[in-house]
Amino acid sequence: MVLELQRRFQGTPFSNRLKVIQGDVLKCDLPYFDICVANIPYQISSPLTFKLLSHRPMFRCAVIMFQREFAMRLVAQPGDTLYCRLGVNTQLLARVSHLLKVGKNNFRPPPKVDSSVVRIEPRKPQPSVNFKEWDGLVRICFNRKNKTLGSIFRQKSVLSILEKNYKTLLALQFSQKGSSENKEMALNVSALGDTGEDLSMEIDDDEMEVEDVETRGSEFKDKVLEVLKQGGFEEKRSSKLTEADFMHLLSLFNKAGIHFS
């Protein structure tokens, strides 16, 4: 394909305006670009989307064809069946809109899945949020998106990681108490919750109930649940929360000294 493109442009007025980069898009350093138009291998949909959104300077617009279910997850709204962490994180960083469905019979030979074309426009300016903190919270909330947040945050695995973060932060603040600047730096430590545990793992309902029994009486658990009650989140479900709700919840946790990264 590279040779064919070069052959078609050779000797035309556009030949000096074409630059072909041959390689793995996930491994290549992308040049400056304003517009991205792509039909991609569907297995790289998620990493490519976030590679584009992390590219600087920010591009103006991307129009990409994805597998239909992935596309529907990108544009899903609170309350939709496909509303998930992928959509929440993407919509935090960009405006995403569905342009058209492309049925599998439009291809020869027809694939096994339908496709959709999606438009992605990065938000400018980007939201002022610590993305690692944000993603840490959203990962936990979407472990069981239809369970109440009160149930999710009673899990022993969740409480254990958050309590480690909390104690680490207190230790950092104590050791740096003579410098307000250093205190501020401690709040932004990105590796506070790096315990090697996978919070994206789905947890069985039975396991959740057992773990809840084991953590009764925990002062830290009471602190976490008090944050949820303060914001009226204890009986709410992640599947119904908006971006503003997650922002508010994250700010309440952070004010209480509870961090997710």
Q: Where are the domains of the chain?
A: 24-122, 127-173+219-260
Residue 25 clears pLDDT 60, i.e. is over it: yes
Residue 128 clears pLDDT 50, i.e. is over it: yes
Q: pTM for the full model?
A: 0.80
Residue 230 clears pLDDT 90, i.e. is over it: yes
Q: In this predicted structure, which of 56-60, 192-196, 242-246 has the lowest mean pLDDT?
A: 192-196
Q: Residues forming the annotated binding site for S-adenosyl-L-methionine?
A: 1, 24, 39
Residue 121 clears pLDDT 70, i.e. is over it: yes
CATH number among 1.10.8.480, 3.20.20.140, 3.40.50.150, 1.20.1530.20, domain 127-173+219-260: 1.10.8.480
Residue 169 has a pLDDT of: 84
pLDDT band at 54 (very low <50, low <70, confident <90, very high): very high
Q: Residues forming the annotated binding site?
A: 1, 24, 39
Which residues have C-beta within 8 Å of that of residue 117, sequence separation ≥ 6?
63, 64, 65, 71, 98, 99, 100, 102
Percentage of the chain exceeding pLDDT 90: 74
Residue 172 has a pLDDT of: 81
pLDDT band at 177 (very low <50, low <70, confident <90, very high): low
Distances (CA, A) of 111 to 41, 45, 67, 115: 12, 17, 10, 10
Taking the domain 24-122, which CATH number applies? Answer: 3.40.50.150
pLDDT band at 171 (very low <50, low <70, confident <90, very high): confident
Q: What is the mean pLDDT of the chain?
A: 85
Q: How far apart are CA 230 and CA 30, in angstroms?
A: 45
Q: In this predicted structure, which of 83-87, 169-173, 192-196, 228-232 has the lowest mean pLDDT?
A: 192-196
